[in-house]
Amino acid sequence: MPSPAPHSAADSEAHFERFVAELFRQKGWQVLVDPHEHGLKPDLVAERFGRQYIIEIKRASEGRKDRIIPLLSQAVLELQNFARNSKGAAFPVAIVIASYIPESVAEQAKRFVQEHAPEVAVGVIDLEGFRSFAGHELEGLSVERPRGSRHQWSRLRSGSPQLFSDLNQWLLKVVLAPSIPDLYLASPRRHFEGASQLAEAAGVSVMSAFRFVEQLSKAGFLERGQGRLQLVRWRDLFERWAAASQSRVVDIPMRWILRRGNDALADALRSYVLASESARGNVLRPTAPPVAPHARACLGLFSAAEALGIGFVHGVQPYVYLERVNDDAIESLGLSVHGAEEHPDVWIRIPKNRESVFRGAVMKKGVPVSDIVQVWLDIAHHPSRGKEQADLIWRRILAPALEANEQ
């Protein structure tokens, strides 16, 4: 196993440079990353509409005024020094980035630069999605703080379950995917140099992927090895992941209305998938009547292990993951809550981490099935011989795959 190593200062700075470069590219800018190779000194050089900008980026450990303004001052001095020694004309931009920066601090920082170095544009960025720019017509890069966002960085540093948020769990599966055969996990399969590539492949925002990389790196589970993102200390990571997954879940007992037999659930899910695809097709047709989107569903826990070819615990009522409590979906599956409390035929589970659950699900003979990582997480502490089933999955699939990736 590769020995864990802390993120070096150089790696961390390069990481933030790539992140800022991606933000500019998304707005249509051409960006030169690491312009040092071309005899330049700033962190980035960006061009748009025939105008060139030189950019200095500073990372603050905290979003306090006494941390932000000194770093911006340093960036301004470096930009001014570059301008004195440069033959070309370019617009200087000083950017500071931190995990969380209050809007009031951002305003004070912008005023400081505008008062003391009006020729320098300023940008203030945090990892919760907030961006505030002023000067040289860069205001269009500003983004208000997303509604519902809150400062969570102190909890992240103390090992909060936010490390295993819904999207973070999905991103973990995407990073793990090259090591796990595709019959066990549905995911893009490639190695990633940074957050922007990971975001594109996983179908999430660059900000979400960047936060994920930062959180996992700070926790000591992710580093850059051989030019790509690489998980380290994966045994500890999986232990913490399993512990974070043991929060209370919503399980609803169900009874069959008409169906019976060993294949009843597979047939019901197969029909449900076909109906869902048909409904989505209707939504795409302008002349079609409005159709409510179907809640996603997939086989879970021991039944999923069986479908993946590694189940050995029998006699446990099957579980179906359903995206949300939905009477139409339950009826489409041929289930009912009536009379189910004492003798359930099926358990419907409503997941909190629905993106991770449903994006990673694989198709087996037309039936959506929870991926192998999700099954391992779900049954590790299940009272019906869950530990034995989880140990089997670990020994036969997960451990060999992850060990092979270390070679």
Q: Which of 141, 169, 195 is the last residue of a domain?
A: 141
Instruction: Give the domain CATH number at 164.
Output: 1.10.10.10
Q: What is the β-pairing status of strands 319-322 and 335-336?
A: unpaired
Tell me the two tokens of residue 217: 């790196």
Q: Is residue 378 part of a domain?
A: yes
Q: Which of 117, 141, 165 is the last residue of a domain?
A: 141
Rounded to 5 degrees, φ, ψ at 315 are 90, 0
pLDDT in tens, the chain (407 residues): 333 333 444 445 666 777 788 888 878 888 887 665 445 577 888 888 888 898 999 888 888 888 888 889 888 888 888 877 776 678 899 999 988 889 999 999 999 898 888 999 999 998 877 899 998 888 888 888 776 554 443 443 334 447 888 999 999 999 999 989 889 999 988 888 888 889 889 999 888 888 898 888 888 888 776 668 888 888 888 988 988 887 767 788 888 887 666 788 888 898 888 877 765 554 333 433 333 347 899 999 999 999 999 888 777 888 999 988 777 888 888 888 887 777 888 898 888 888 999 999 999 988 999 999 999 999 888 877 888 888 999 999 998 888 876 65
Question: Residue 122, SS3?
Answer: strand
Residue 15 CB neighbours (<10 A): 18
Q: Is residue 331 part of a domain?
A: yes
Residues 260 and 370 in one domain: yes
Residues 377 and 396 in one domain: yes
Q: Which residues contact 119 (CB under 8 A, 6 or more apart)?
A: 92
Residue with tokens 């790196």: 217
What domain range is 60 assigned to? 9-141
Q: Is residue 182 part of a domain?
A: yes
Provide the number of structural domains found in the chain: 3
Q: Is residue 373 part of a domain?
A: yes
